[in-house]
A and B are shown apart, each in its own frame.
Chain A
Amino acid sequence: MATETMTINMGPQHPSTHGVLQLILELDGEIVVKATPHIGFLHRGTEKLSEYRTYHQVIPLTDRLDYLAPMSNNLGYVLAVEKLLGITDKIPERANTIRVIMAELTRIKSHLVWLATHALDIGAMTVFLYCFREREEIIDIYEKVSGARMTTNYFRVGGLSEDLPEGLVDEIRKFTESMEGHLETYEGLLTGNKIWQKRTIDVGYISGEDAIDIGLSGPALRASGVDWDLRRDDPYCNYSEFDFEVPTRTEGDTFARYKVRLDEMRQSARIILQGLDKLKPGPILADCPQVCLPAKKDVVNTIEGLIHHFKIVTEGFKPEEGEIYVGTEAPKGELGYYLVSDGSTHPYRMKIRPPSFVNLQALPQMVEGVLLADVIATIGTLDIVLGEIDR
């Protein structure tokens, strides 16, 4: 009997490809012979656009990369610009601590969406609803600090755009303390669940060596036994003052990645609570008038403030010629910014190293030879966001 493989098209309009990802799958029955990802449907030319904007004007573009973790993208970018300017050690303590708190809330938020959609893809509907309930609380916190629910644009070169509003510290604390109980709920629904185990254990396996070779980073790499976290190994902000663990596992399968991300949420909660205890009153912007925007009350009340604001908004600042690379631990992996300055007010070249782009590259080797249904589980476990893949 003659047999032949069948080629089918999955996406870009497909709920479980997590955005506009297209996969061309060559199938032998239900077994995947070859998977070819097609990306770029959401390409907006962020890198090109940034070459025509001042350094401050690029910050809102970064929100729209990984739109599930906008603050992490902001953070990576402002850290890169600060390094380029050489003002990294001038950032006030309070600004650094708030950055860490927000970055960790963002990690929880991003992991919640990952868990919700991953579980929904595999058929566990309830978790989805619970996760989005908690995510909503983080979005409310976002809204209170920045005015926006999704595209926060909260961090500034040199510090923050605004201080935390009154009463928010208690709200963040209340939410963070409740997180442990929520995580137990999710685990109660999934970890011991036979269907969940069948769908995740030994699915989408990748060894530590292969994972490094293909460039996986973040939780996906740590689930394959590689103990590497930029928050601990290449500390930025004031992460070195925090006490936290880096969860790792050695199995390298979907279940291991699930456990690593859940443990990461616990560690994030731990970091946030430490950060809230550390928080002392103080300035939220570095004392670098050539770079930092003046406080809003000065802009509207004094002529000097207005001139200062006008100067920075219309002209911008000019870092000296040079190039730097800053890698940060975003929820999905290493988010890197490579910035080249030619001494003008615009970045000469900005290259973003999006973790999802590199992680997605591992998909074909993880799904070739497995069942079609496991492709869905593997896309979910890689935790990709097309906004940052396509940029």
Chain B
Amino acid sequence: MSKQVVEKLKEKFGALVLAEAEYRDETTVTVERGEVVEICTYLRDDCGFNFLSDLCGVDYLGRAPRFEVVYNLYNITIKSRLRVKVLVEEQDPRVDTVSGVWSTANWHERECWDLMGISFNNHPDLRRILLPEDWQGHPLRKDYPLQGPDREPYQGRLS
């Protein structure tokens, strides 16, 4: 089912669909960052993905582009999943918000900004959510030390 959706997406958006992958029966499509709202709206209205399960950022330090924003979508009517990704450059870590498509994205995007430092254009309320407002840095980035920025690195074993 998810494969048909990818075909539909390709037909509709052509070159804006950058890549697709299949792993352990899960389908992932990578789409153009600038058009994510349009594509998500299409997925919600025409493909039935009415439920945004999860949204998060992943930091691939050393790779270019460095970040990915991952949207895990679910179709409650036919019970199928689809993963959508956009690639985000380190120099310009911004994506358009999808909180207008699924309201639930609001807090997920705040969390992504808070912990990963990816900001969301046109977001209604982009504040830190888990960390204090005056916190410096974004802890889930790979170059953020586990012990925090102002401490000596831990000398013992971590695992």
Contacts and interface: CB of A to CB of B under 8 A. Distances in A.
Whether A associates with B in a native complex is: yes
Given A40-B131, A322-B23, A323-B28, A214 B53 contact: no
Interface stretch (B9-17, B35-43, B75-83, B87-95): B75-83
A166 interface: no
Given A45-B139, A322-B23, A390-B130, 12 more contacts: A47-B115, A52-B158, A212-B50, A213-B50, A228-B76, A322-B24, A325-B53, A336-B72, A338-B54, A348-B58, A349-B59, A353-B72
Interface string B39-53: 000000000001111
Interface of B: 23-24, 26, 28, 50-54, 56, 58-59, 70, 72, 74, 76, 79, 81, 83, 102-104, 106-108, 115, 128-132, 139-140, 144, 146, 158-159
Nearest to A45: B139
Given A228-B76, A338-B72, A325 B23 contact: no
Contacts of B132: 40
A33 to B, nearest CB: 17
Contacts of B158: 52-53
The 7 closest A-B pairs by CB, nearest first: A215-B104, A40-B130, A351-B56, A353-B54, A233-B79, A43-B130, A52-B158
A233 B70 CA distance: 23
B131 A338 contact: no
B107 to A, nearest CB: 5
A353 B52 CA distance: 11
A53 B154 CA distance: 14
14 contacts: A40-B129, A40-B130, A47-B140, A53-B159, A54-B159, A212-B51, A215-B52, A322-B23, A322-B24, A325-B26, A327-B81, A338-B70, A349-B58, A353-B72
